[in-house]
Structure formats: C-alpha cells, structure tokens
A and B are shown apart, each in its own frame.
Chain A
Amino acid sequence: MKRWLSIGGVCVVLLAFVLPFDARATTALDIDGETEAFAVRVEYDLPLPGSIGTEPHVVGEIRRTFGENAKGLAGAPTDFTAITGGAVYDPWSTVNGNDGPLAVSGNSTGIKDPIDPHNGLPTAECFYPGQPATTVSWPRDLRADTKPIPPTSYANAQCGAGPTTQLTAWSASDDVPGSPTGALGSVLHTGALDATSLLQPEHGVVTSTARASAHEVSVLGGAVRIGGVEAEGTSTAQGPGGADGTNSHVALSDISAGGQVFSVADDAITVAGNTFPIDSSAGQAFLNNVNAGLDATGCKLSVLGPANPYPQGFLLSRKPPQIGVAKDGTFAASMHGGMLILCDLPQDVTTPTTFTPQRVQILVGFVYSMARATKGDAGFGTGDFLAGAGSINTPSKTVDVPGPSAAPAPVVAAKTDTNNVPQTQALPASAGRTIRYRPLARSTRIIFIVFGILLLIVATNVASRRLKELVGS
C-alpha cells in the first residue's frame, strides 16, 4: 500500500510539472497585426508613375508565432519614392557623386567636401527585436549643417515586446521650401498633417489601429480645396470562439470644388444640410456636377470607399491583403480610401520645375488595418508520449483566411459615370494561405532531454551524498 502511495505521489508531482508546460494546454495564440495610413499620396505621370511622396505615412506590423517581432515605419514624408529618394539620397550626385572628392567637369579635384554629402532620411523605422525606437526630426536630422534649423516635421517609431508597434508622424506642411516635398508647392499645398498607429495584443485581443489626418489641402492653387481629412481604422481579433471586428472610414470636410461646397463622411455626401449616399443617383449626379465645374482646371475627382479595388498603382506597402471578417473570431481587416483627384497639369505649373509631368493623381486619405489571432501549432503535448515520436514534428498548419467573398465589402464608387477614374488594378481575391512552423528538431529535443537528465542525475547525486553525510539516514 505504502509503495503504491509513493508511486502515486511521484506521478502527481510529475504531472504537476509536465502539464503546465504541455503545449496542448497552452492558451497562447499566434497573432498578426498590420496597419497602414496616410493623408495624402501624390503620383506624377512622367509618363511612368513616379511618386513625389506620401505624407504623413505610417506602416506597422506585429507578429507572434514561436517568437515575437514587430516593425514599423513612420514618415513625414516616407522616403520610398523615386523622386523624393533621389533628391534626398543623392543631392550632389551630378557634381561629385555619392562619395569622394569634389569633381569639376568630371575631373576629380582631390578636395573633400566640407560636409558629409550623405543625407539622413526623413523616415523613422523600428524593429523588434533589434532596433526598438527611432526618432527623426526634419530637416534637423538631414545633415550636420541642418541641425540648427527648426524642425518642420517629425517621425517616431517604437517597437517592443508584446509585440507592440507604435508610430507617430507629423509635418507642419507638405510644401515647406527646402524640404524633400518642397516641389509639391505648385501642385499641392497642405497645412499640418499627422498620422499615428498602434498595434498590440491587449487583454487577449489583438488590436490594430491607424489614423492619418491633414488640414487645409489645396490642389493646383485652389482648384480643389479640402478643409480637413481624417482617415481612421481599427481591427480587433480575440481568437477562436472570441469576438472580432473591423471598421474604417475616411471623412473629408469642407470640400470646395467645381463651385460646390460639400463634405464626405460615412460613405455619404453632405451638401447644404442634405445627406445622400455616394452611390445613389443623387450622389452621382452631384459628383457629375462637381466634375463639370472642374473641367476648366483639368481635374476630375472621384470618391472612393470601403472597397478593395483601387485605381492606384501600388497602393499598399505590402502585397494585396485579405479583407473581411471571419466568423470564428480569428481575423478582421478592412481598408478605406477617401478621394482620388486626377489632374492634367497646365504648362505654367510644370515649367518652373526641372521635370514636366503631364498628369498628377492625388489620393486623399487612406487607411488599412488587420488583426488576426489563430490557434497556434499544437507542438508537443503530453499525449505525444503515448502517440510516439512521430507526432513530435507537427508538419504544418493551414490557416484559412476569409477572402472578400466571405465578407463582401461594398464598392461604393459608381461604375459607369465619367467622374470615376478607371479602376485598373483590382486586388485579386486570395485563397487560404498555408503557414509552416518549425518546432524543435527531434534530435535537438533528444539532446535537451538527455543533457537535462544527466545534469539532474549529477546534481541529485552530489546533493544526496552531502545530505546523507550531514543529516544521516
């Protein structure tokens, strides 16, 4: 009886140790979160699209599977684009190239430039683990000689454990003289711009939020004026059996175009106290009137909405995402666009610049957010001892993410009216994705177990000898 009680006691102790570590008993979920938002994106047709910039811009991402990582980018503006990048990266490339002594007519003078010709980029980036936080103050951080200049824009990116990504971008104006987007002045003027984003799991819910805003937007010297732009989106996912949800919207207030003054919010147009849906006949008729009034300026505008196809080139800084809400609480994502303005540029605007774009398209207000919480790979559980070693390496896990068909998102903009720019690039509906995990290799696990048992035997032997000597039987 005593022996069986002892064996039972040992079993209870072993179970108490093993069960809490049991992979199948854990409640940890694999999580993902993504966000992107900007207030204004300007692209020129040269005829190849070469973007002048996106401002302010936040792009965030968090992941947790077997480990955690977070990354984020905040730019005011971002340095993604060819023209901005060219101007900032290589300011004197025609004179002396990127490095080395000054050159005159291609001949090296042997004289080193008095200041470092390399520019700091107007973008703050963070990675976790790795680079937890970055702050860029512009143009103070452009070069050593610009340090005394008061900042006109600011970007901060922080990534941390959790995982968490927090982003902030702010700019006094898009066309500050001397700034990388100074050339925009003749095409686009804005007042203060700012964008923020926060991605983190909190109290068991993956939350991704992003927001961007701009004030006093003016296109082509006032052909189109927008008093305020607010783009905001949030997605949450609690995991299997839990809740999930997403919302995104872009509000444009005090729009003055084609002799009309109106606002756009919640997919509806408000004019002189009357509100009607954008895709209604009244809404389309109103937009036709606005575009007719804009004919003299060479501009046309269309209102976007919570749709997944957008007439941009590359809209997101990532591959086309899934949009929709899963019924089981594991996934939610949405994106929303504001207004697209397409203008044929008059000669007097393009002449003063060193390039002569023929057309410019401006996307005002965009937000995308995604949250996912799925049950992770089963890993190695207590039952695997009984099932045999073959089940240690779980081969793979398939996460079926609902595509647009699972939760159809309405395409708001009208399909036939001339006020709409042709929607040339629809994002394809995606099939489910397969994500593969790599648990510990079987040999590694065996080495761990053998090494652990050896250490325990040695330590127990030393301790028991010592105890026996000191305490006695």
Chain B
Amino acid sequence: MTATQAPRSRFAPRVQPRMEYLSSQAFVRSVIEISSAATISGYAVSRVTAHRLDPTATMVVLIGAAAINTLLVSLYAFFVALSDTVDGLVTKDGTEKPSPDADVLSAGRLWGRVLGSGVVGGAWGAGLTFLALAALNRRESHFLGLFVGVFIAAGVASITAGLAATALGVRFGLDVPKAAAVRPSRRRAWRDLALPFSALFALVTGAFTVLLFHDYHVGAAFSRHVLTEKEVLADLPIQIIIAVAVANFALGRAGRAESKLGLVSLEDPERQPTTAVFGIQALVAVVLVLLFVGGALVRFLLPAYPTLVQTVIARSAVVFFAALFAGGIAYTRGALNAKVVKR
C-alpha cells in the first residue's frame, strides 16, 4: 500500500520517462484549456448585452481562439519541454527517435513551425466552425454552446500542437543534433526571440481587446458600455504584468536551456558577467517603467473617446513593448544565470 502523497510533492517536478512526461503534459494542457475555453467563452458572451453571440461573432471567436491559442502554445510548450529535458527531468525510455540533423532552434525554423501550427489550428477551428454554423442554422449561440465549441476548436488544437511541440523539445534536449549552431546571446535574445514573441503577444492582446470591447459604444456619452480612455486602460497594470510574466516564463526558460546546452555565446563577456546570479530587478523595472511612463504616454496620445481600432493599437502597443523588454531581458538573464550555475 502506497503512502498518500502531499499535493506539493505530488505536483513537484520529478524525473519522468519520456512517454510519461508527454502524458502528464497533455493532461496539464487539457486542464488549462478547459479553464481557457471557459474564460474566452465567458468574456465573449458577457460583453454582449443579451448574452447571445450571433453566428458571425461565433465564427470569429472559434477560429481566432483556435489559431491564436495554437500559436502561443506551440512556442512555450517547446521551450518548457526543452528546459525540463535539459534539467534532467525527462529520461529516455526507448520510444524516442533520434533528432534529424537540422537546427530546429534557428529563428526561421522556430517561428515557421509556430506559424505552421497556428495555420493548422486555425484550419481545424474553421472546419469545426462551418459544422457549427450548419448546426446553428442562423441561431445565436449561448455560453454552454460557445464553451464546448471553443474547447473542441481551440482546446483540441492547442493540446495537439502542445504535445507535438513538447515532443520536439524533448527530442532536441535528449539528442542535440550536430547542426545546432551556437548563437550570440544578444542577437538571439532580442532579434530572434523577443521581437517576434512580443509581436505575437501583441496580436493576442489585440484579439483579446476586440473580444472585450467589440460590443462597446464608440463616441457615445450616454450608455452603459462606452469606450472611454479610462475604460480601455483600466486593466493596464494587469496587462503589463501578464506580458512580463509570460515573456519571462517562456523566454527565460529558452535562455537557460540553450545556455546549458552550450548554444549561447557571450559577445561582450566584460559586460555580461557570469559571476553571480541575476535577480528579477530588471523585470520589475520593466513593469514600473511601462506602467508609469508607457501608460502616461498612451493616455496622452489616446483620445477620451477612442475607436475600437485605436483601443486595439494602444493596448497592443503597451503589451508589445512590455513583452519585448521583458523577453529580451529574461532570455539574457536565463542564459547568464545558467552559466553561473555551471561553474
């Protein structure tokens, strides 16, 4: 009879064979996708006055959620798996195949893979959407219908894409191909990863902004849902913190894993010391600067009654710069700290 494990030890990182690791990641991803589908559906219907979405809006939500979820998941699932594998949390179990001799970490291949996943995810969501439109027959959809639709469209696509990206990350971590190139840390951090990542995150924020505010009145002064500067920037601190946290989570792990695999070189060792571990002060500074300087600038530029397009641009711009700065810093910090640990 096995002793009952405490939740902390049950969910603590532990060494797992490859297939078990993939299974556990798929399970975790499923749980996340259920809550994600509930959140997206809830936001989508709550913003419509009668809590009913017309078929066109349903179509946009299903396809958009599938494509965007898949884009994000296929990126950070890869780096999480790579990081876990490099940290020794995944072991070979005889089911793995050798890595082809190709550099899957190159920017072109990495982002091409992410975009490809997004396209396939979007196609899956679109296919399901057409079936849903035929079933809806011009009727509006409510929360339960939308939730099931989003989970099957976005959730299944994301779980599948996440599983594929996880498997790729594990394979690369267990068997680094000879073609994997060493890259200078700054170029890798800012140009290869942080810049596209922040653009992707700005796209996510833009889509979420449309989801939040698509039913708001524009330019009206007397109504319940009015698009005002105050309204659209009310959650700015949360947006910045989420962007910084996600960027740190994904790209910090990327930097640590690539550095541990010896795939990162330092261009300027004098200014990139590896004598001590870097803390999160720089990331906190990013949050504060974006909040007080970036937020003030956006408030200055944004009209009192912005349009939906202006709102999307403003919110996406703030998140873009937050993710850009945080992503670059997080990658560099992960890479340098990994080298410190190696000593």
Contact = CB atoms under 8 A, between A and B. Distances in A.
Interface of A: 16-18, 20-23, 26-28, 64, 66-68, 132-133, 156, 158, 160-164, 166, 168, 200-201, 376, 379-380, 392, 439-440, 445, 448-449, 451-460, 462-463, 466-467, 469-473
B137 A463 contact: no
B223 A160 contact: yes
Contact of A460 (B22, B124, B139, B168): B124
A22 to B, nearest CB: 7
B136 interface: yes
B325 to A, nearest CB: 33
Contact of B127 (A26, A440, A452): A452
Contacts of B144: 20
A200 B134 CA distance: 29
Given A68-B54, A161-B48, A462-B120, A440 B138 contact: yes
Contacts of A380: 134-135, 137
B114 to A, nearest CB: 13
B49 interface: yes
B223 A21 contact: no
Contacts of B139: 23, 26, 28, 66, 376, 379
B142 A160 contact: no
In the complex, which of the residues B22, B49, B120, B135 has the most CB atoms of chain A within 10 Å of its own CB atom?
B135
10 contacts: A21-B149, A28-B142, A158-B220, A158-B222, A380-B137, A439-B137, A448-B134, A449-B134, A452-B129, A466-B164
A133 B217 contact: yes
B96 A472 contact: yes
A459 B124 CA distance: 5
Contacts of A379: 136-139
A102 to B, nearest CB: 37
A17 B144 CA distance: 10
A132 B138 contact: no
A329 B200 CA distance: 51
Interface of B: 22, 48-50, 52, 54, 95-97, 120-121, 123-124, 126-142, 144-145, 147-149, 152, 157, 160-161, 163-164, 167-168, 171, 215, 217-220, 222-223, 225
6 tightest Cβ-Cβ pairs between the two chains A and B: A455-B127, A452-B130, A162-B49, A456-B127, A470-B167, A20-B145
B48 A451 contact: no
Contacts of B97: 469, 472
Contacts of B127: 451-459
A471 B142 contact: no
In the complex, which of the residues B48, B129, B137 has the most CB atoms of chain A within 10 Å of its own CB atom?
B137
Contacts of B222: 156, 158, 166, 168
Contact of B215 (A161, A452, A456, A457): A161
Contact of B120 (A67, A68, A463, A471): A463
A159 to B, nearest CB: 10
A163 B126 CA distance: 28
B124 A467 contact: no
A392 B127 CA distance: 21
A330 to B, nearest CB: 17
In the complex, which of the residues B120, B130, B141, B144 has the most CB atoms of chain A within 10 Å of its own CB atom?
B130
A21 B132 contact: yes
B62 to A, nearest CB: 11
B203 to A, nearest CB: 20
Contacts of B49: 160-164, 200-201
Given A459-B120, A471-B22, A21 B135 contact: yes
Contacts of B167: 467, 470-471
B130 A132 contact: no
Given A22-B135, A26-B139, A454-B127, A201 B50 contact: yes
A16 B222 CA distance: 41
A198 B192 CA distance: 55
A448 B131 contact: yes
Contacts of B147: 20
Given A21-B149, A23-B137, A448-B134, A160 B164 contact: no
Contacts of A472: 95-97
B137 A445 contact: yes
Contacts of A156: 222
In the complex, which of the residues B95, B138, B148 has the most CB atoms of chain A within 10 Å of its own CB atom?
B138
A455 B120 contact: no
A187 B134 CA distance: 62
A28 B140 CA distance: 8
A442 B126 CA distance: 20
A64 B131 contact: no
Nearest to B170: A470
A45 B149 CA distance: 63
B2 to A, nearest CB: 27
A444 to B, nearest CB: 8
A469 B104 CA distance: 15
B131 A132 contact: no
Contacts of B124: 455-456, 459-460, 463
Given A66-B138, A470-B171, A472-B97, A456 B128 contact: yes
In the complex, which of the residues A21, A439, A472 has the most CB atoms of chain B within 10 Å of its own CB atom?
A21
Contact of A18 (B135, B140, B157): B135
Nearest to A64: B50
Nearest to B133: A448
Nearest to B152: A17
A53 B149 CA distance: 53
A366 to B, nearest CB: 24
A28 B131 contact: no
Contacts of B128: 452, 456
Contact of A439 (B96, B126, B138, B149): B138
A335 B123 CA distance: 54
A68 B311 CA distance: 25
Given A200-B49, A451-B130, A471-B167, A17 B148 contact: yes
Nearest to A31: B50
Contacts of B161: 463
Nearest to B57: A161
Contacts of A376: 139
